[in-house]
Structure 1
Amino acid sequence: MATAPRKTWQQDPQRRTIILRATLETIALHGVDGTTYRKIAQCAAIPLGSVTYYFPSMQALLLEAFSTLAHDAFTAFAATLNHAQDKMQARQAIVEIIFGEVTAGDKTNQLSYELYSYACRTPVMKQVMKNWMNQSRASLERHFSPLAAVALDALIEGMILHRSVIPVAEEDVYRMVAQLSEL
């Protein structure tokens, strides 16, 4: 009795995650407009068909990739704020967020700019941005008033943007945070 040939091919359980990470790498290098299935596959070192198998539409792929970015950035943001035991520590945590690599590094900045730009033209991406902002504000409200949370969230975004172009001293940022935190 002949036995069936043994299956040698196995699906990579991490393939979807690999594709999402490669998508973000590709966006960071080429922008949303320069991102293609082919470039993503090349970046991930996987067959092109794997990308289209998991993500039949580019919009679905971009939505999930940017949602992953927002989730990861917010997780780092919340973890930093969650260590704060009082208002002074929360102020210092905000400075760490503004100057931190995970939340404000060059790659994260580039991807955030791409997300902002893409969200302006794509309503579904606006929801990703809105969710991210609402989560950030809710984390800030654990330590500050709702008004202060809105102001501090705007300061965080603005300072990260400014820091990508011109240097800003941490001491100056702390003073700004201290002032806004009293709203």
Structure 2
Amino acid sequence: MGIRPQSHYARGQARRERLLDATAEVIAVRGLEGVTHRSVAAAAGLPASTTSYFFASMDELIGAAVTRIADGVLEATRDLVADVPEADGGTSALEYVDRLIDIVIAAKETLIRAQFEAYLATSRRPELVEPVQRIVQALEDAAESMFAFLGAPDPRLAGRELVAMLDGFALQRLAHPRPDDRAVLRDALRRLTTAHLGQASAPS
């Protein structure tokens, strides 16, 4: 008898997760203005009434979806920091740059689009400011940790510049993807690393 409530709760949570994933997809394709009970439910493959069962309003649903995106970014950055290679001079810096590139190139386009839609919406939706700032802060913290590990004199400044570069690259890649994107990003990151670590300790 005690298993049934837990099973019912698990099913409910699974549906809620599907709705949040679907909301992120709708945001990526149609923007925040395209988020409706019907569009989200259709994307999730659930009845239209399901969204109002789990979320009292569209604002609550959008806020929860953006928070979920932020949590995903936090998890990815934690994994990145955990994968910091052991200190090995320039080789470590190069390995870390390549690891960053892998993450950026492999990121789901829908997630990136939803993330930038959330960025742009903060001026109109104050409730999104906190989760969006969490995304930016998580990225900057991870980048700062990387540069601190590599011995940069000002890892915080280097981290902020790196995140700005990655955001700009990701946004441009959405609008105009090109075959040499990886090579261009790698060159830019190596130059940024060189600028903050000095020629002697930068990757070669």
Aligned residues between the structures: 171
Tell me which amino acid in the other structure corresponds to 1:57: S
Tell me which amino acid in the other structure corresponds to 2:168: G
Tell me which amino acid in the other structure corresponds to 2:173: R
- Find the counterpart in structure 2 of residue 114 from structure 1: 117
Q: TM-score, normalised by structure 2?
A: 0.75
Quick one: structure 1 residues 152 and 50, their matched pair in 2 at CA, closer, same or farther if it must change by over 3 Å? same
Asked if the contact 2:139–2:163 (Cα under 8 Å) also holds between the matched residues in 1, the reply is yes
Quick one: structure 1 residues 175 and 29, their matched pair in 2 at CA, closer, same or farther if it must change by over 3 Å? closer
Equivalent position to 1:170, from 171, 182, 186: 182
The whole-number CA distance in structure 1 between the counterparts of 2:68 and 2:175 is 26
The 5 A counterparts of 1:34-183 are 34-85=34-85, 86-100=92-106, 102=107, 105-144=108-147, 145-166=155-176, 167=178, 168-181=180-193, 182-183=195-196
Question: Which 4+ runs in 1 deviate beyond 4 A?
Answer: none
Q: TM-score, normalised by structure 1?
A: 0.83
Asked if the contact 1:84–1:93 (Cα under 8 Å) also holds between the matched residues in 2, the reply is no
**Deviations, residues 60-119 of structure 1 (Å, cap 9, x unaligned):** 11001011112213423442453231322222122223312x2xx321232122112212
Quick one: structure 1 residues 169 and 52, their matched pair in 2 at CA, closer, same or farther if it must change by over 3 Å? closer
The whole-number CA distance in structure 2 between the counterparts of 1:99 and 1:46 is 32
Unaligned runs of 5+ in 2: 1-7, 86-91, 148-154, 197-204
Unaligned runs of 5+ in 1: 1-9
RMSD after superposition: 1.9
Quick one: structure 1 residues 78 and 49, their matched pair in 2 at CA, closer, same or farther if it must change by over 3 Å? same
The percent identity for this pair of structures is: 22
Of the structure 1 ranges 157-166 and 78-87, higher mean CA displacement relative to structure 2 is found in: 78-87
Asked if the contact 1:81–1:94 (Cα under 8 Å) also holds between the matched residues in 2, the reply is no
